[in-house]
């Protein structure tokens, strides 16, 4: 995940950091963008999460840094830069954790210095002045001591909020989607005092997990998956089963007082450019309600609508067929012939569960897939930041998230390549068996492995918890090719192969999130916003131009008042803070001049 750095001789590293920060602050105070940019290396990267840009933005090299500063120095008025702990140094790079303040808030960041100047620079906003979260020394008293004839209990106040929201009191924010992303954002908004409603079509929080196939579990380890404010218990399993996650989300929603509307379907949304508000029509358990928020967040996950291929013969196939998102589990398919189309996480999970109950399972691999064993991912890929040993060494979740965020996407693959080279060496016997079975395996376009595949395209990988061994050992059959047709009883491939099937599962992934925007709002708005997710890296399924950040995620879009939020639990936790701060600032009338609003590039 990141390079290991050894402590340096304290004086040299600290003096270099203190000098650089003082020079940078002096240049900002003088409003001298070129002088400040000159403190950066020729090849350098500044990643800003809301603090300077009111955006999530990375600029590169001195010209890019000077341009950012010319646009933001005056309004940001950043000052009081200082190191928050002793810097470290290794291989000629000094690492330093820093803090600073702006005209309206307080920030944290990270600095990597070389002999030439700043190589990477991270700045993040973590709170707004006079609108701090009520935690720590600012936590509410809870009890009102003494006597008061007008006393309102916590329960009464909470019930009034629930009953009023959306009826006599309009939410400032409507969040569509009540998975981990929507719930995490709802918790952040609640703590910041932002009137909100999270709408979800399921009867209970977590039901989107409960309703999936029974073998589903988190493929990321527990240390990586905490939600804001409340960590998982210390006895929580490393890879949590789906129903355990569902129960946690239900509990979390209640205790964090998220205004969560279950059994609620969002039917339509439209934006009034003059009034600067949305009209959002929802069906809440059979009752149609019209809401008028000023901000609309689509938190339907990093993926959009399920991709279900349209094939000749689907109407004549006599067996059962469904997308992996609708797979009910394996129990009804004992002794049945099942064809699973795809080789992603869901495909492997479903194949493994079907094999366990005695189904005759064939996987159709359409393109190469990257597989990493879960224990190797934990030990070599995540262990320095998210593990029991990291916790024992003093690594907090917040610091781990910031460390990960401090690596610009442009160079992140260079940090990942040695990790996956080590994983390949460690698990060479497994990969030899897998490839001997005919499985087409890859390590990403530049051998950078799992995380870059996820960030660039959101798919094309599998975190192995055992099912891949079934392929390697021939227990689950494997065929290569594209499905071209279904007959009454078979699946036909492009090479003429026919596979008998009682069930076809389409583990064929999802489209871009802006597909939801097209359905909910309009195709015109979806087109105006452009593609959601991906970096523009010009690698497989991530066409350019280079954006430098996840397209349209957690930041302003070309459609005023429309936001996208999602990703895995780590991203839902970390980026919900920056999205919530942007929404809170707009609620309070704090000026939010956006630097570098993403341009629209129609990449399909």
Model confidence band, residue 604 (pLDDT cutoffs 50, 70, 90): very low
pLDDT of residue 7: 43
Q: From CA 13, how far away is CA 26, in angstroms rounded?
A: 20
Model confidence band, residue 6 (pLDDT cutoffs 50, 70, 90): very low
pLDDT in tens, 38-50: 999 999 999 999 9
pLDDT of residue 1: 43
pLDDT of residue 2 exceeding 60: no
Q: From CA 87, how far away is CA 95, in angstroms rounded?
A: 6
For CATH 3.10.450.50, list the domain ranges present in the chain.
10-128
> Which backbone phi and psi does 426 adopt, to 5 degrees?
-65, -40
pLDDT of residue 145: 83
Q: Which stretch of DSSP H or E encloses residue 346?
A: helix 345-356
Q: From CA 179, how far away is CA 219, in angstroms rounded?
A: 17
pLDDT in tens, 304-345: 678 899 999 999 999 999 999 899 989 999 999 999 999 998
Model confidence band, residue 106 (pLDDT cutoffs 50, 70, 90): very high
Sheet strands side by side (includes 196-199): 260-261, 196-199, 173-176, 295-298, 562-564
pLDDT of residue 4: 40
Which has more pLDDT, 8 or 509?
509
Pairing mode of beta strands 173-176, 196-199: parallel
Pairing mode of beta strands 337-341, 503-506: parallel
Omega prior to 172 cis, within 30 of 0: no
Find the mean pLDDT for residues 14-29: 98
Q: Which stretch of DSSP H or E encloses residue 524?
A: helix 523-529
Find the mean pLDDT for residues 7-33: 89
pLDDT of residue 513: 84
Find the mean pLDDT for residues 376-392: 94
pLDDT of residue 458: 85
Q: From CA 564, how far away is CA 555, in angstroms rounded?
A: 7
pLDDT of residue 179 exceeding 60: yes
pLDDT of residue 249: 97
Q: What is the mean pLDDT of the chain?
A: 93
Residue 558: strand, helix, or coil: coil
The answer to whether the beta carbons of residues 209 and 242 sit under 8 Å apart is: yes
* Per-residue tokens: 556: 């302003």
Which has the closest alpha carbon to 175: 547, 516, 585? 516
| Apex 178 CA angle, 173 and 179, nearest 5 | 130
Pairing mode of beta strands 461-464, 477-480: unpaired
Q: From CA 159, how far away is CA 288, in angstroms rounded?
A: 21
The answer to whether the beta carbons of residues 209 and 246 sit under 8 Å apart is: yes
pLDDT of residue 514: 86
CA distances from residue 302 to 57, 402, 451, 514 in whole angstroms, order as listed: 19, 21, 14, 10
pLDDT of residue 511 exceeding 90: no
Among 14-18, 410-414, 596-600, name the one with the lowest average pLDDT: 596-600
User: What percent of the chain clears pLDDT 90, i.e. is strictly above it?
Assistant: 86
User: What percent of the chain clears pLDDT 70, i.e. is strictly above it?
Assistant: 97
The answer to whether the beta carbons of residues 115 and 91 sit under 8 Å apart is: no
The answer to whether the beta carbons of residues 98 and 111 sit under 8 Å apart is: yes
The answer to whether the beta carbons of residues 463 and 345 sit under 8 Å apart is: yes
- Topology of domain 320-506 in CATH is FAD/NAD(P)-binding domain (3.50.50)
> Which backbone phi and psi does 296 adopt, to 5 degrees?
-125, 125
Q: From CA 176, how far away is CA 258, in angstroms rounded?
A: 13
pLDDT of residue 302: 60
Which has more pLDDT, 233 or 462?
233
The answer to whether the beta carbons of residues 98 and 84 sit under 8 Å apart is: yes
For CATH 3.50.50.60, list the domain ranges present in the chain.
154-305+511-587, 320-506
Sheet strands side by side (includes 483-486): 483-486, 490-493, 498-500
pTM above threshold 0.85: yes
pLDDT of residue 466: 74
3-state secondary structure 436-485: HCCCCECCCCCCCCHHHHHHHHCCCEEEECCHHHHHHCCCCEEEECCEEE
The separation between the first and the last C-alpha atoms of the chain, rounded to the nearest angstrom, is 31
Find the mean pLDDT for residues 529-553: 94
Q: Is 443 exposed, middle or buried (0-12, 13-18, 19+ CB in 10 A)?
A: buried
Give the DSSP letter string of 62-91.
HHHHHHHHHHHHHHH--EEEEESS--EEET
Find the mean pLDDT for residues 369-397: 94
pLDDT of residue 463: 83
Q: From CA 427, how far away is CA 407, in angstroms rounded?
A: 27
Find the mean pLDDT for residues 421-426: 96
Q: From CA 599, how far away is CA 57, in angstroms rounded?
A: 12
Find the mean pLDDT for residues 81-93: 96
- Topology of domain 10-128 in CATH is Nuclear Transport Factor 2; Chain: A, (3.10.450)
* Per-residue tokens: 186: 């709802």
pLDDT in tens, 130-165: 999 999 999 988 877 888 888 888 899 999 999 999
- Topology of domain 154-305+511-587 in CATH is FAD/NAD(P)-binding domain (3.50.50)
Q: From CA 330, how far away is CA 284, in angstroms rounded?
A: 32
pLDDT of residue 600: 82
CA atoms within 13 A on the CB side of 405: 25
CA atoms within 13 A on the CB side of 528: 14
pLDDT of residue 391 exceeding 70: yes
Can you give the C-alpha Rg of the chain in angstroms?
25
pLDDT in tens, 48-86: 999 999 999 999 999 999 999 999 999 999 999 999 999
pLDDT of residue 132: 97
């Amino acid at each position: 995940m990141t390079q290991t750095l050894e402590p340096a001789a304290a004086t040299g590293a600290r003096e270099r950091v203190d000098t650089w920060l003082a020079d940078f602050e002096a240049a900002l105070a003088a409003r001298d963008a070129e002088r400040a940019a000159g403190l950066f290396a020729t090849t350098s990267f500044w990643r800003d999460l809301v603090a300077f840009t009111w955006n999530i933005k990375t600029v590169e090299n001195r010209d890019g840094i000077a341009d950012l500063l010319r646009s933001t120095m005056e309004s940001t008025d950043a000052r009081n830069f200082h190191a928050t702990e002793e810097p470290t140094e290794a291989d000629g790079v000094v690492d330093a954790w820093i803090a600073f303040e702006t005209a309206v808030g307080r920030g944290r960041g990270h600095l990597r210095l070389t002999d030439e100047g700043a190589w990477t620079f991270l700045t993040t906003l973590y709170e707004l002045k006079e609108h701090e979260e009520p935690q720590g020394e600012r936590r509410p008293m809870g009890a009102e001591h003494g006597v008061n004839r007008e006393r309102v209990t916590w329960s009464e106040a909470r019930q009034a909020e629930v009953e009023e929201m959306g009826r006599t009191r309009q939410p400032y924010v409507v969040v569509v989607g009540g998975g981990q992303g929507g719930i995490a954002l709802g918790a952040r908004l609640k703590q910041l005092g932002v009137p909100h409603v999270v709408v979800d079509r399921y009867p209970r929080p977590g039901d989107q997990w409960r309703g999936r196939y029974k073998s589903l579990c988190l493929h990321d380890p527990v240390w990586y998956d905490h939600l804001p404010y409340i960590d998982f218990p210390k006895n929580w399993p490393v890879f949590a089963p789906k129903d355990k996650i569902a129960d946690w989300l239900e509990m979390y929603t209640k205790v964090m007082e998220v205004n969560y509307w279950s059994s609620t379907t969002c039917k339509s949304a439209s934006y009034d450019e003059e009034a600067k508000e949305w009209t959002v029509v929802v069906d809440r358990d059979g009752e149609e309600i019209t809401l008028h928020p000023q901000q609309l967040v689509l938190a339907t996950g990093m993926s959009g609508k399920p991709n279900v291929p349209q094939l000749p013969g689907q109407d004549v196939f006599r067996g059962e067929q469904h997308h992996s998102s609708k797979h009910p589990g394996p129990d009804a398919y004992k002794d049945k012939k099942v064809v699973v189309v795809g080789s992603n996480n869901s495909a492997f999970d479903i194949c493994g569960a079907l094999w366990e109950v005695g189904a005759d399972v064939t996987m159709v691999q359409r393109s190469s897939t990257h597989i990493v064993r879960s224990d190797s991912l934990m030990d070599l890929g995540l262990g320095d930041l998210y593990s029991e040993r990291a916790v024992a060494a003093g690594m907090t979740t917040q610091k781990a998230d910031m460390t990960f965020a401090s690596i610009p996407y442009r160079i992140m693959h260079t940090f990942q390549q040695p990790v996956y080279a080590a994983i390949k060496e460690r698990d060479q016997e497994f990969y030899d068996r897998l490839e001997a079975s005919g499985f087409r395996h890859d390590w990403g376009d530049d051998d950078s492995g799992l995380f870059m595949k996820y960030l660039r395209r959101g798919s094309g990988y599998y975190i192995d918890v055992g099912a891949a061994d079934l392929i390697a050992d021939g227990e689950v059959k494997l065929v290569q090719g594209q499905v071209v047709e279904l007959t009454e009883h078979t699946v036909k491939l492009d090479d003429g192969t026919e596979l008998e099937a009682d069930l076809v599962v389409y583990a064929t992934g999802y489209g871009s999130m802006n597909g939801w925007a097209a359905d909910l709002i309009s195709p015109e708005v979806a087109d105006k916003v452009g593609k959601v997710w991906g970096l523009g890296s010009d690698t497989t399924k991530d066409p350019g131009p280079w954006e430098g950040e996840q397209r349209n995620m957690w930041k302003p879009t070309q459609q005023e008042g429309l936001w996208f939020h999602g990703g895995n639990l780590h991203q839902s936790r970390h980026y919900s803070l920056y999205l919530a701060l942007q929404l809170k600032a707009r609620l309070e009338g704090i000026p939010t001049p956006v630097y570098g609003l993403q341009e629209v590039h129609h990449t399909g």
